[in-house]
Amino acid sequence: MDFDLSDEQRALRDSIHEFASRELNADVVERDKTATFSREAWQKCADMGLLGLPVPEENGGSGAGALTTIVALEALGRGCTDSGLIFSVNAQMWACETPIVRFGTEEQKQRWLPGLCDGSVIAAHGMSEPGSGSDAFSLSTTARHEDGGYVLDGSKTFVTNAPESDLVLVFGTIDKELGFAGVTAFLVERGTPGLTVGKPLSKMGLRTSPMGELFFDGCVVPEENVLGKPGQGMLVFDSSMVWERSCILASTVGTMARQLERSLDYARERRQFGQPIGSFQAVSHKLVDMKVRLETARLLLYRLGWLIDRGESATVESALVKLYLSECYVHSSLDALQVHGGYGYMTEYELERDVRDAIGSRLYSGTSELQYEVAAKGMGL
């Protein structure tokens, strides 16, 4: 097992880190206060090729493998302090692009993927409902077949990118008695009669990533906008979740590296009681804990990318990565804030925002509790 990066991967990592540090950090504190999504920064990410990483070249993407994509996102997290922007980028890639890549018809791929890669199209993924979150397939949204299409009725909530979206991948059931076997995936364009985008939702963290509700009231979707086949919604969703769990926290490894570098510098420079605070075990041990989390998280993440690139099953491994990285991210963010003391609590130091952003990682793409269940089931329990 060799995790040594190729020259091309190192060059990609370095170029993305430099790009993100230079181009993506303007006015993040203010945009976080006002919950403002930066379309300009989004377009810069697209122009850099980030939005097209997992998409085949013939569809406008880069055709990057899992490990290369992970390395790129780690570099993005190290250089970019706008975790909300990164979250929106991930939401588009894993919950919208990869399902179209795997299950889309040639017409659907040609119609949507180039725009999703070049930044001109923003997509959202509608699964969660007011009454169904972790129990993803207890859906109330229905899809009734009628006159060569489907009529959607219902609502979705906690939809990342919804206020800015041009396209929504939404899940509804064609027959509640069939349970998960009735769930079907649909591609719904903004402006479709019967689709209403609700007002933006206010969040604790990831505030620069827009989130909203979607309402479907007699929303007619043509048959050619079914993604996969009717009743294949579970397969579409589960496939996207493996990729999402695998990669959505790759950027947090870069964030943890940035936090550690910053905390080490501060611990060497900040003096109390006549000596650098890093000489006190209460501080130095926190920094060691941060280093352990960083290195173990990176190894677990890289191994997962290696498995996916080899074509091996990674259901358990992706759940473990999602679970472990989210916990590491939260604890390292708290430790970085603690090392900086009162300064860390100040908005301008941007460490308190890391804590708020990190908390969400325990919830999105399946809660930590759900990841335990996925891993346990995969272990035969």
Quote the DSSP letter at residue 200. Answer: P
Same domain, 202 and 152: yes
Specify the 3-state DSSP secondary structure of 145.
strand
pLDDT tens, position by position, 95-125 = 999 999 999 999 999 999 999 999 999 999 9
Catalytic residue among 244, 317, 352, 373: 244
In a domain, 306, yes or no: yes
The answer on 265 and 363 residing in a single domain is yes
Share of the chain above pLDDT 70, in %: 98
Residue 258's CATH number: 1.20.140.10
Residue 199 lies in a domain: yes
Q: Is 261 a catalytic residue?
A: no
Average pLDDT rounded to a whole number, residues 306-316: 91
Residue range 14-35: mean pLDDT, rounded: 97
Query: Does residue 144 contact residue 150 with C-beta atoms inside 8 Å?
Result: yes
Beta bridge partners of 167: 123, 189
Q: How many domains does the chain have?
A: 3
What range does the domain containing 92 cover?
7-122
pLDDT of residue 320: 96
**Within a domain: 223:** yes
* pTM, 2 dp: 0.95
Residue type, 15: S
Backbone φ/ψ region at 169: left (φ over 0), alpha (ψ -120 to 50), beta: beta
Residue 94 banded pLDDT, cuts 50, 70, 90: very high
Give the number of other Cβ atoms within 10 Å of residue 44's Cβ: 18
Q: What's the pLDDT band for 136 if we cut at 50, 70, 90?
A: low
- On whether both 40 and 106 belong to a single domain, the answer is yes
Distance CA 139, CA 130 (A): 10
**Domain end point (choices 122, 143, 178):** 122
- Is residue 250 pLDDT above 80, yes or no? yes
Instruction: Name the phi and psi angles at 205, rounded to 5.
Output: -135, -175
pLDDT, tens digit (0-9, with 9 covering 90-100), for 150-175: 999 999 999 999 999 999 999 999 98
User: Strand pairing of 195-197 and 211-222?
Assistant: antiparallel
> Which of 51-60, 138-147, 187-196 is predicted least confidently?
138-147
125 vs 138: CA distance, rounded Å? 16
Confidence of residue 240 (pLDDT cuts 50, 70, 90): confident
3-state secondary structure of 363: coil
